Structure 1
């Protein structure tokens, strides 16, 4: 006799969804899909040694019904002695506050709660009850909104810390399992309301397509998602290698990509590189559509220095000296560096997350091949020395130039983006700039055959 558990167990093993001794937090609403998932996970504890937890979130939109659902899931958990966690949130209030849809607000609050539990119990994965029908609805919704091949992939069995063990099971399979095993569940009336796009697809669009075009539309869209995944994975592998070659600078707030080379890539690869960079910054690309990627690619193609574009998720794209800069809009202004006196030994500059080591060494110990290390004629320095950022009147004597140059002109010649210039650290003595960290030292303080004492400065980010 066919048992849905066999299919479930095959998914767990094939996609490496659950490992021995691992913690699994199951998001259980009390509806058919989640009750079946819960039952399958409980049965799995008989053949696999792992820890199961149940999480339920009351979205605060259905009054007494929502309270009933919470009590139902709690009793279900107690029946099998499974630890139960619940919370109540104001989904609609959060949506208004963040100016996002109720669906997006619910998703953010749910996964935020699930991950808090994971953090409290020492890590693990989150199990959710997305099934084949959900996959078809997701793909159709993305087609309607406008998507590329990545969007057609839909959801995956394993995405970071989220597992979907019943993703390849149709809703009618779950209903049959529920009946055969005499499982109880609760109804959510919002599932039959057509105020949500996903509900409209399930309740109106799919039945119309099934009656007039394709009775197997769910299976067809699921196959489309699998085929798209195969092609997308191959392109991703190529794009990943290109991305690692083209990224010039990356930190928590910004990414700089070599523009000329990126612009030469075919659109399929170029768009993936841009998408990956955006994902690295915001860690969530649910609101990033194909049109946003194409706008960034178009901005790059025009190669207009100083031109910028605000895209979704608070990310700004701009072109500077031919390179593509992607930045978090609310973090573009870095913390201003206050002038700091430096001393022999280790100097910590917290604003820049910079460690600067200063020490006197013998001339025979100089190693000029170290990029982050510079050497100075100790006796030419007028102490104290300080670390600061640029001033309007700054003059610099670049090594090997044989003369002076306004610091502003030096930055322009080095093609340093204007918005970065105020944050570049300068090591200075009483009268001159010794070192523009990350760039040149002053010709005044270079080591010569007359040098008696050597001062070594070495920096590193932390």
Structure 2
């Protein structure tokens, strides 16, 4: 299959888009997202996906180069006849104020902008917001890099699926396509006499020089680890993609089981901000499922994007022992949450609520 056929197969297999549902293309100007724009345009012209809008977020991290990226993407949208939205965010200032990681802040702010832009597009087109999709240009290479990165820093079993094809409204239609295949596709457009855009250096996409800096974790994995793995197995992309999809299938099954247990064993207090109680009967379930339920509860408190510490999950599970809650157990965990237990179950709540309750 060529890249258009692969992308369409992925979109169909994972129910990523419908003919009337708006699609927001997140385009940085790099080779992957530039290819995404061209592919999406071909699919839209073939009535395979819904109306397109292109979004570029300028993080203002690379000075004139960042502005040139924005100009390139604006021109790309004009050539393809796709409505264009550009947003500028001073990521460095936000990260400095929050004492946060620049890459993490950039990702969070980028998706905030994307969510707002998608909502605006859906309203303009009188489409349900829930049906709108953000197409991002993650490739099989990105997924493999994530796999090795997580192997190094640690993750749960489900983390080795690396990326979801569809995560809420975020869709990854290129997840089964390699970066090289996308670059070849962009170059082949010239031979097919299809429109292409070049930057001021006559390049078909923009290059971010920081992607070559191996002091950055992803760049280190991309340039040092993956090439060596490819030497051992030239079909690494296909092999690891298949492996990650098998892991994903089992992860989906376990997640479904954990969701059922969550509904059975988690009782939220009124108001819900006051916390919840885990039923004593949760202790009788298999430990991996207990762990997943605990993570789901903690995500409700801390946010789905927050990395949940292993120590926090283990602190929740430690409130159960020998198939029942441990009376008198108390722990202060991530997010300043209190975990306490008695024969009625395990209670998780903000520490302030715990202290007020204990004073009564």
Match of 2:222 among 202, 206, 209: 202
Q: How does 1:5-20 map to 2 (within 5 A)?
A: 5-20=4-19
Q: Alpha-carbon deviation of 1:42?
A: 0.7
Q: Displacement, 1:306?
A: 5.7
Counterpart check, 1:32 vs 2:31: yes
In 2, the alpha carbon distance for the partners of 1:172 and 1:325 equals 51
Larger deviation, residues 320-329 vs 122-131: 320-329
Cα distance in 2 between the residues matched to 1:142 and 1:94: 27
Cα distance change on mapping 1:8 and 1:265 into 2, 3 Å: same
TM-score, structure 2 as length reference? 0.85
Deviates more, 1:133-142 or 1:316-325: 316-325
Contact preservation (8 Å) 1:274, 1:293: yes
Query: Which protein has the bigger strand share?
Result: 1
Report if aligned partners of 2:278, 2:347 keep a CA contact under 8 Å in 1.
no
Correspondence for 1:180 among 188, 200, 209: 188
Alignment-derived partner of residue 229 in structure 1: 248
User: What's the secondary structure of 1:26's corresponding residue?
Assistant: strand
SS of residue in 2 equivalent to 1:130? coil
**Contact 1:146–1:289 (8 Å) recurs in 2:** no
CA separation in 2, counterparts of 1:118 and 1:59?
19
Conserved in 1, the CA contact under 8 Å of 2:266 and 2:279? no
The yes-or-no answer on 1:134 pairing with 2:142 is: yes
Q: Which residue of 1 aligns with 2:42?
A: 43
| Aligned partner (choices 241, 265, 285) of residue 260 of structure 2 | 241
CA offsets, 1:343-383, max 9 Å, x none? Answer: xxxxxxxxxxxxxxxxxxxxxxxxxxxxxxxxxxxxxxxxx
Taking the aligned partners of 1:309 and 1:227, their CA distance within structure 2 comes to 37
Shift of 1:286: 4.5
Distance 1:292 1:104 in 2: 21
Q: Is the 8 A contact 2:267 2:279 kept in 1?
A: no
Per the normalisation by structure 1, the TM-score is 0.67
Q: Quote how far apart the aligned CAs of 1:299 are.
A: 4.2
1:257 equivalent to 2:277? Answer: yes
Q: Which has the higher helix share?
A: 2
Partner of 1:366 in structure 2? none
Alpha-carbon distance change, 11 to 33 in structure 1, aligned in 2, over 3 angstroms? same
* Greater RCO (CA < 8 Å, at least 6 residues apart): 2
State the aligned residue count: 334
SS at 1:77 equivalent: helix
1:169 maps to 177
Which runs of no fewer than 5 residues in structure 1 stay unpaired?
334-416, 424-462
Distance, in Å, in 1 between the alignment partners of 2:148 and 2:119 is 34
Please name the residue that 1:293 is paired with: 313
Alpha-carbon deviation of 1:192? 0.9
Q: Secondary structure at the match of 1:45?
A: helix
Partner secondary structure for residue 126 of structure 1: strand
TM-superposed CA distance for 1:260, in Å, is 2.6
Query: Do 2:319 and 2:329's aligned partners in 1 also have CA atoms closer than 8 Å?
Result: no
Shift of 1:99: 3.1
Between 124-133 and 5-14, report the one with greater CA deviation.
5-14
Which position in structure 2 is the counterpart of 1:316? 337
Q: Pick from 337, 341, 347: which aligns with 1:325? A: 347
Q: d(CA) in 1 for partners of 2:314 and 2:139?
A: 31
Distance in 2 separating the partners of 1:153 and 1:180:
31
Rounded to whole Å, the distance in 1 between the matches of 2:16 and 2:172 is: 8
Tell me the SS of whatever aligns to 2:25. Answer: strand
How far apart are the structure 2 equivalents of 1:88 and 1:199?
25
Instruction: Give SS of 2:318's match.
Output: helix
**Distance between the aligned counterparts of 1:307 and 1:91, measured in 2?**
39
In structure 2, the CA distance between the partners of 1:101 and 1:299, relative to structure 1 (3 Å rule), is farther
Q: 8 Å contact 1:254–1:325 — kept in the other structure?
A: no
Q: Distance in 2 between matches of 1:110 and 1:172?
A: 26
